Amino acid sequence: MGAPQCSSSFSCTLSIIQAKNVEFKSMGTLFVRYYLSAGNDKRIQLNSREISSRSDLSWNESFSLDCFGTEDTVNDLRQENVVFELRWRNKVPVLGRIRGSQLLARAEIPWKEVFESPNMEMEKWVTMIPTSGRHVHEGIKPPMLQVGMKVQVPAMVEKERRRSGKCRNWDECRCEDCHDPYSGGDYEFLALMATLEAF
């Protein structure tokens, strides 16, 4: 029987900075939708703010998620990808209603790449795979999205305490096998809070 896993909080920050190589045939708004894995085949969906398709295509905003899980949760997160979707919305009402958004391009970034970056943070231009959306001109250069990603994992409790499995109380150690009534070994983290910040 292995040593109990001690729970810990950690945070993930994703920054949507700007896009380029995106051209439009008509007016509307552009936004980025992205998906974070929450384990057990569940995903968290987040949207950036919508900007005019005639603007400079800059968002300069970030989302922070405070999460709760075990070391296994963090290890499993390393195997997941963040999916980014560039979406366009026609703001002209049809029959009095604004229609849903249209997928223009898509890209994925593995969390492993972030964990292996210095200080577990990175900023990069990611090349997106365009769809057959009629609002994007066909061209040599594909759409690109500049994003930032960061993970902050506080230090776990002492290794000796984990190995011994001796916990004085739940508030001090939070070993799920000792005290957590909801522990079942499944990979799932709970997003406690999401905040949106402009640069």
The rounded distance, in Å, linking the Cα atoms of 176 and 102 is: 43
User: How distant, in Å, are the alpha carbons of 115, 118, 134, 153, 160 from that of 156?
Assistant: 17, 20, 50, 8, 11
Question: Domain range for residue 138?
Answer: 8-198
Supply the pLDDT for residue 128: 94
194 domain residue, yes or no: yes
More confident residue, 184 or 87: 87
Q: Is 189's pLDDT higher than 90? A: no
Q: What is the per-residue pLDDT for 183?
A: 38
Task: Report yes or no: 59 and 32 within 8 Å, Cβ to Cβ.
Answer: yes
Q: Cα 172–176–181 angle (5° rounding)?
A: 110
Mean pLDDT rounded to a whole number for the chain: 75
Give the CATH number of the domain where residue 154 resides: 2.60.40.150
Q: For residue 1, tell me if it sits in a domain.
A: no
Distance, in Å, from the CA atom of 157 to the CA atom of 174, rounded to the nearest integer, reads 9
Tell me, what's the pLDDT at 50?
A: 93
* Segment 171-191 mean pLDDT: 42
Q: Is the pLDDT of residue 57 over 50?
A: yes
Whether residue 171 is contained in a domain is answered as yes
User: Is residue 2 assigned to a domain?
Assistant: no
Give a yes or no: residue 3 inside a domain: no
Is residue 44 in some structural domain?
yes
Q: Would you say residue 147 lies in a domain?
A: yes
Number of domain units in the chain: 1
Average pLDDT over residues 14-41: 86
82-99 burial: b if 16+ Cβ within 10 Å, else e: bbbbbbbebeeeeeeeee
- Return the minimum-mean-pLDDT range out of 14-18, 79-83, 149-153, 191-195: 191-195
Within-domain flag for 149: yes
Residue 86 in this model has a pLDDT that exceeds 90 = yes
Among 18-22, 33-37, 74-78, 104-108, the range scoring the smallest mean pLDDT is: 74-78
